[in-house]
Amino acid sequence: MSQLYFNDVTYQCGEHETVLDALTRQGVSIPSSCRNGVCQTCMMQSVDANVPGAAQNGLKPTLQAQNYFLACVCHPTEDMTVSLPDNTDRLLSATVTAVRQLNDEIKCVGLDCPTLEGYHAGQFINLYQDSECARSYSLASVPTDGYLRLHVRRLPDGRVSNWIHDELKIGDSVQISIPVGSCFYLPDAPQQPLLLIGTGSGLAPLIGIARDALNQRHTGDIYLYHGSHDVAGLYLVDELREMAEHYSNFHYVPCVSGDDVTPQYQAGRAVEVALAAHPDLTGWRVFLCGNPNMVKTARKKAYLAKAAMNDIYADAFLVAGAK
């Protein structure tokens, strides 16, 4: 018999009971479907790393690393403190340390958050304009930077992005959530080739992931394809070219999909340029960030090019409905 702590209430879990059965029996509503550890509808998270291995069967390594598990096949071996995945929002105070224009529509925002305990490059935070209005922004920094960095694109009717672009200044205090998301680098296969494809400010998490991999001495090739309609939509081009000169296994390919063909830029959409160069992705790990349609197309193409499903990490930048 073990105990389950869920939303500040203690529940009993019988000898042969699963977490899902125990909570459901005691009146807690947990979404579930197949009840066989297959469909992942009942995914929950444990505060501690005491999740039985069988309850993580089939989950991505990044989710396993964050103690996610499937409640329907989880037989606790000791007491567990558990939550549903969206209960992880906890707010931290941060100070704006830098605001810098990256191109016409994207600004880099630096944040100092001393109470933040750790994160994975490539995760995202929610930045709060006030107590009710927040937007998600990916982290372009790596943990060793000592500060957080975001790339914020100004959206035409974007309430928070316009506030950030027009009003946020160095020294301001803001509230952020703890970093979340499972699109990040894991040092479990240092020789594995990595393919990173992003559009617009989808470059932010990819820079973090590439730098994190290089810091952790990744030896396999790392290809970064950044796409935009025109050259003006790209940014940090010189910095990334320098990085590619410095690291022999890092390759940077800026892509322009519009009509103006320019030397030193690949013509075409980033996804198509990348897949034409790497038609067989067997054994690769793929990271996709940016426009949701691009992410959807790229995910499918990468999978059809034989990347394994568990090796495709995606972060679609959804735009909140304008109000």
Whichever of 63 and 244 has its CB closer to other proteins, that residue is: 63
- Give the separation between CA 47 and CA 19, rounded to whole angstroms: 14
Residue 240 Cβ vs other proteins, minimum distance, rounded to whole Å: 28
Residue 152 Cβ vs other proteins, minimum distance, rounded to whole Å: 25
Whichever of 222 and 302 has its CB closer to other proteins, that residue is: 302
Applying CB under 8 A, the residues found at the interface with other proteins are: 34, 36, 38-40, 58, 292, 296, 299-300, 303-304, 306, 308-309, 312
**Cα dihedral sign for 267, 270, 272, 277?**
positive
Asked whether the beta carbons of 138 and 123 are under 8 A apart, the reply is: yes
Instruction: For residue 249, give Cα distances in angstroms to 195, 239, 254, 275.
Output: 12, 16, 17, 19
Q: Where are the beta strands (DSSP E) in 9-147?
A: 9-13, 43-46, 68-70, 80-83, 91-101, 106-112, 124-128, 134-138
Whichever of 39 and 96 has its CB closer to other proteins, that residue is: 39
Whichever of 247 and 303 has its CB closer to other proteins, that residue is: 303
Instruction: For residue 283, give Cα distances in angstroms to 74, 212, 217, 270, 273.
Output: 30, 20, 19, 21, 19
Strand partners, 148: 111
- Give the separation between CA 85 and CA 102, rounded to whole angstroms: 34
Residue 8 Cβ vs other proteins, minimum distance, rounded to whole Å: 30
Whichever of 241 and 306 has its CB closer to other proteins, that residue is: 306
Residue 200 Cβ vs other proteins, minimum distance, rounded to whole Å: 19
Kind plus residue range of the DSSP H or E element containing 305: none
Asked whether the beta carbons of 295 and 271 are under 8 A apart, the reply is: no
Whichever of 34 and 133 has its CB closer to other proteins, that residue is: 34
Residue 315 Cβ vs other proteins, minimum distance, rounded to whole Å: 13
Residue 223 Cβ vs other proteins, minimum distance, rounded to whole Å: 21
Residue 295 Cβ vs other proteins, minimum distance, rounded to whole Å: 9
Whichever of 155 and 308 has its CB closer to other proteins, that residue is: 308
Q: Is 16 exposed, middle or buried (0-12, 13-18, 19+ CB in 10 A)?
A: exposed
